[in-house]
Amino acid sequence: MHNHQTASDTIAEQVRRHRTRLGMSREQLAAECERLGATGLTYAALVSIETGRRKPDGSRRREVTADELLALGLALAVPPLLLMLPLGSEQTVPTVPNRDPRAPYTVWRWWTGEQTPTLGGPLDGRYFAESQAIGEDGPKWSAAWATAAYPASLYPEFERRREAVHKAYLRSEAADKRKADQKGRTDAWTDYTQRLEELAYHIEDMARVGLRIPELRPDLIEDMQGLGMLTDPAIIEPKGTE
């Protein structure tokens, strides 16, 4: 099968939609893109993108590059990925030329690494991950994807655990300031140290696979180190020292 609709076609439709939503002319959008440094997104380029002018072979005369997608999203005050994968307004979006269009949120999860792409099928109405090997002696495609996508799960979880630590820290600090009873202070401190230990475990998981650890406040790192939560205290640096 071959799908002539491309991601640039979807982006063009969404650029036009959001430009209209904001009451912007193409001249104004071009000026905003220029302010952001995307000087190639001129009025003429925007006309070509939005109208989808075609070559004799049916392909677009003007595709949208990854750099331009980011600039257009920022210029239009919309998350760039929503220009290509408009959640809630389109039933399907293009994937790759030789595969079926799919639901926007399905493709969204491919982009974020949350889901292994299911390019195979449909078989009995279901799509599936292709299992072919990469090259003659390479790993299976799905296994290679899982390895590469692993950081996509670790960083959001880091943020969730860091936020949980921050909230527990504030509760513990508040219990001390209001001179809560001993049990209240102990419970708040215990909750904080448990949350901190969960974050420390996660940091070690990230370090084990060679990922850069995001910044943390020095007092949190000192508590981790002082309570012996890190196998190697040097794997993380205080905020502001990088």
The tens place of each residue's pLDDT in the chain, 242 residues long, gives 445 689 999 999 999 999 999 999 999 999 999 999 999 999 999 999 999 888 888 788 889 999 999 999 999 999 999 999 999 999 999 999 899 999 999 999 999 999 999 999 999 989 999 889 999 889 999 999 999 999 999 999 999 999 999 999 999 999 888 876 888 889 999 999 999 999 999 999 999 999 999 999 999 999 999 999 999 888 887 664 44
Q: 22 with 123, same domain?
A: yes
In a domain, 142, yes or no: no
Nearest to 50 by CA among 10, 102, 97: 10
Residues 156 and 121 in one domain: no
Specify whether 81 is located in the same domain as 169: no
134 within a domain of the structure (yes/no): no
Same domain, 67 and 104: yes
Q: Is residue 183 part of a domain?
A: yes
Domain that holds residue 159: 150-235
Short-list 13, 10, 33, 9, CA closest to 21: 13
Domain shared by 112 and 28, yes or no: yes
- Cα separations in angstroms, 114 against 36, 110, 128: 30, 6, 15
- Whole-model pTM? 0.82
Query: For residue 144, is it within any domain?
Result: no
**Which helix or strand (DSSP H or E) is residue 111 part of?**
helix 104-112
Domain total of the chain: 2
Domain co-membership, 14 together with 104: yes
Tell me: do 119 and 41 sit in the same domain.
yes
